Chains A and B, each alone.
Chain A
Amino acid sequence: MCTNRTQFLLLIVMLAVSLNGCSPPSENHQEAAVRSDMEVAEALYKKNCKVCHAQGINGAPIVGNQKMWTGRAEQGIDVLVDHAINGFGLMPPKGGKSHVTDEEVRLIVEYYLEQLKKS
């Protein structure tokens, strides 16, 4: 039998659970590798790209800003990487940091796309 009281309690419990979220399942190796890749990418981003992409300098799409990335993200990673390496509109090739390798650019762009999933 379901009384009002039990129903109310159940509701509270459900809410409490949903507020706390569930504890994360323990990470497997693959996830750990992706995470450390993203840490490397974040450091590269901070060093080479953040100067424009944190603030939207000259219209640079702000990392994590859904609105600014709509339309851009849809081009797919290969096009974005190509634009980041070779320049695109007001984006200078590699942001002017010619020492950044093509692989590193790809990693940073992956990090950009990852930030969109979070926000």
Chain B
Amino acid sequence: MKKRVMTAAIAALTLGMTGCGEPESKGIDPKIYTDSLFAVMKADRTNYTKLVVKRLGPAGADVIKPAEHWKDLDNGTLLPAQMFRAGAEAVAEMTDDFTYSLQSIWPINSQNAPKTPMEKEGLEYIGANPGENFYGEETLGDTTYFTAVYPDVAVSDACTVCHNEHKDSPKTDFQLGEIMGGVVIRVPL
């Protein structure tokens, strides 16, 4: 008998803690959605840099040549930023459920400049708050979007040297460990 009461009490408490009944069926929180997408993009980008460019490029086996004009070279391969962009373009051909892009306030390619006020605000925010993301909602046309901006960082001298010396770069004093731009992910709400 004593045991029964205890068990009942514990059961009641457990229920109280977990909530009752079936979980309500509702959509995923857009922040979790974009954070998860970014985790995949980040992992792919790091792996491309580490497992392909570094391993097979001039710093490794030296059999491929990462270069902006990679198409002109027999063994040319895309720069990580171009690889990233190729992914974004392929996704854009498949779906309108979300879009993403690698942007910067100081872009080499002017197409990578922010286009909406929120993109600009987000890029400025992540630049001023290193390591933090930016989240907001914006209305474009008659659709409201959830827009997330994640930092893109100068992780090696290769990033800073190439950008600082590039003829089309509006900024020439990028430093290692600085924010160079951001990944913008946009999903319709």
* Minimal Cβ-Cβ distance residue in B for A93: B176
Q: Mark A1-42, 1 if CB is under 8 A from B, else 0.
A: 010100110011001000000000000000000000000000
Which of A47-55, A66-74, A75-83, A109-117 lies at the interface? A47-55
Interface check B49, CB cutoff 8 A: yes
* Minimal Cβ-Cβ distance residue in A for B5: A4
Contacting pair A92 B156 (CB below 8 A): yes
In the assembly, what is the distance between CA of A50 and CA of B179, in Å? 11
Contacts of A95 in B (CB 8 A): 176-177
Residue total for A at the interface (Cβ-Cβ under 8 A)? 25
**Chain B nearest Cβ from A88, distance in angstroms:** 13
Q: Which of B6, B9, B42, B177 contacts A92 (CB 8 A)?
A: B177
Which of B137-145, B146-154, B165-173 lies at the interface? B146-154
Contacting pair A52 B153 (CB below 8 A): yes
Interface check B50, CB cutoff 8 A: yes
Contacting pair A90 B155 (CB below 8 A): yes
In the assembly, what is the distance between CA of A74 and CA of B46, in Å? 24
Contacts of A12 in B (CB 8 A): 9
13 pairs, CB–CB < 8 Å, chain A vs chain B = A4-B1, A4-B2, A7-B2, A8-B9, A11-B6, A48-B177, A51-B179, A52-B153, A54-B132, A58-B153, A59-B46, A95-B176, A96-B177
Chain A interface (Cβ within 8 Å of chain B)? 2, 4, 7-8, 11-12, 15, 46-48, 50-59, 90, 92, 95-97
